[in-house]
Amino acid sequence: IIYFLVFMHILIAYYIYTPLPDAIQQPWKLMMLDAYFRTGCCRADLAPHFGLLSTRGFEGIMKGLISESSPGPVPGVKVSDITFAGIPVRVYEPPAGGEGHLRRGLVYFHGGGWALGTTSECKYFGSLFCINKLNTVVVSVEYRLYPEVHFPVPYLDCLAAAKHFLSPEVLAKYAIDPERVAVAGDSAGGNLAAAVAQEISVDDSMSVKFSVQALIYPVLQALDFNTPSYVENQYMPILSRSFMIQFWVQYLNADLSLVPQFAVNNHSTLQHSAITPELRSRLDWNVLLPQKYKKNHKPLIVEKGSHGVLKKVPGLLDVRAAPLLAGPEVLAKCPRAYILTCEYDVLRDDGLMYARRLQDAGVTVTIAHYEDGFHGCFSFISWPLEFDVGKRALRGYLSWLQNNL
């Protein structure tokens, strides 16, 4: 029995332990969180075969975990669950101010790989935005998720809700200044926020448009999974390269057997004439990234690979799915931006490349880069999932909104 217990302890330690950079604070807490996440994902994957926990059930566990780690709603903030253009939303309203004072507005899209997440995860953020000297009406959108839907449904849900919120009638109802409305999101939500901001920016039928966009470690392209950050952080908690590729494949309604091909860029080979040199330049990290991030990495460009993949997965080149691929004429019309990136995140370079492309198009961009940050840290701000970098990231985010919205 003793030998068995020792063996089990070693096995558990081996499963939990992940080598982490020295800059990561509280490494064992992050390892435990990552092990929990990996276990949940494995159980969700096995559900169809063994009748275990489904993806939706795992989502419930993650929702409960994050919910328990976040402070409760702030007294005085009104919370309403309603619909905008048929899309469920949760609206946070600050306490009524003085007569005639217009408020800020913010539309928020949660993360979760287009497969996990819920508006309830935004309860504390929504309350903070309302009362932290921001006087902001916050709308968190409950867009539909995988496996029930695929691209472009989540994007269309978010776009419909955003357009409804930006209508003069709705802004007037909530006493919102039409010159002070933001769109924001984290991870997959950052993807949706960037895509929605682009679409609304070029939509001449919209009389009110977003004045700022705030993107938290956004995922912005699916053609190159070998950027320096994807290579360096491919095994980093809590978003490995394999998980991110799987989220993309699911979102784009492709066969999961393509994941290994995507991992080695066989889906974006030179033989694909639709991926023109001009299009490739829009995610050429060898040009768009500062040297400190490029280091000694070399671009992985494959001459021949998966045949016909672009016909099977047309969303790969759709700017509504991959905002980094948008042309400069579109980016030039986008609102000024705040882009948060983390050093130890596969998505780091997506955010940095997008920041550079926006700047090249003439858009004012604030880059908030956290040298000790990891993917998801923005959500971990209270016990038992409290990380100092998460609290610093949230404070910086609120400060930028205070000064720019």
The amino acid occupying position 202 is V
Q: What is the mean pLDDT of residues 97-106?
A: 76
Containing H/E element for 137? strand 136-141
Q: What is the pLDDT confidence band of residue 69, given thresholds at 50, 70 and 90? A: very low
The 10 Å Cβ neighbour count of residue 129 is: 28
Which of 323, 108, 305, 55 is closest to 198 using CA atoms?
323
Which pTM value belongs to this model?
A: 0.89
H or E stretch covering 36? helix 27-50
In this model, does residue 54 exceed pLDDT 50?
no
Q: 75 pLDDT exceeds 80?
A: no
48: three-class secondary structure by DSSP: helix
pLDDT band at 354 (very low <50, low <70, confident <90, very high): very high
The predicted model gives 128-155 an average pLDDT of 89
Q: Which DSSP state fits 51?
A: S
Name the average pLDDT for the chain: 86
Burial profile 336-371: b = 16 or more Cβ within 10 angstroms, e = fewer: ebbbbbbbbbbbbbbbbbbbbbbeebebebbebebe
Q: Highest mean pLDDT: which of 88-102, 108-122, 308-322? A: 308-322
Cα distance between residue 242 and residue 264, in whole Å: 11
Catalytic site residues?
Answer: 187, 345, 375
Long-range contacts of 378-381 (CB under 8 A, 24+ apart): 378/186, 378/216, 378/217, 378/340, 379/66, 379/111, 379/121, 379/186, 380/33, 380/69, 381/69, 381/70, 381/124
pLDDT of the residue at 53:
38
pLDDT, one tens digit per residue, over 253-288 is: 999 999 999 999 999 998 888 999 999 999 999 999
Topology of the domain comprising 29-405:
Rossmann fold (3.40.50)
pLDDT at residue number 119: 63
Q: What percent of the chain has pLDDT over 90?
A: 66
Which residues have a Cβ under 8 Å from the Cβ of 88 and sit 6 or more positions away? 81, 82, 119, 141, 142
Long-range contacts formed by 159-164: CB under 8 A, 24+ apart = 159/195, 159/196, 159/199, 159/200, 160/84, 160/85, 160/86, 160/87, 161/84, 161/85, 161/87, 161/89, 161/107, 162/107, 162/196, 162/200, 162/210, 163/85, 163/200, 163/206, 164/84, 164/85, 164/87
Of the pLDDT bands very low, low, confident and very high (cuts 50, 70, 90), residue 103 is: very high
Measured at the CA of 375, the angle between CA 182 and CA 105, to 5 degrees, comes to 10
**Domain locations in the chain as residue ranges:** 29-405
| Position 74 confidence tier, pLDDT thresholds 50, 70, 90 | low
Identify the sign of the CA torsion 339, 103, 195, 237: positive
Q: Is the pLDDT of residue 10 over 80?
A: no
pLDDT of residue 68: 45
> Which whole-number Å values give the CA distances from 73 to 67, 92, 123, 126, in the listed order?
11, 10, 6, 8
Q: What is the mean pLDDT of residues 151-168?
A: 98
Q: Band of the pLDDT at 41, cuts 50, 70, 90?
A: low
**DSSP label at residue 243:** H
How do residues 299-342 score in pLDDT, each as one tens digit? Answer: 998 888 777 888 889 999 999 999 999 999 999 999 999 999 99
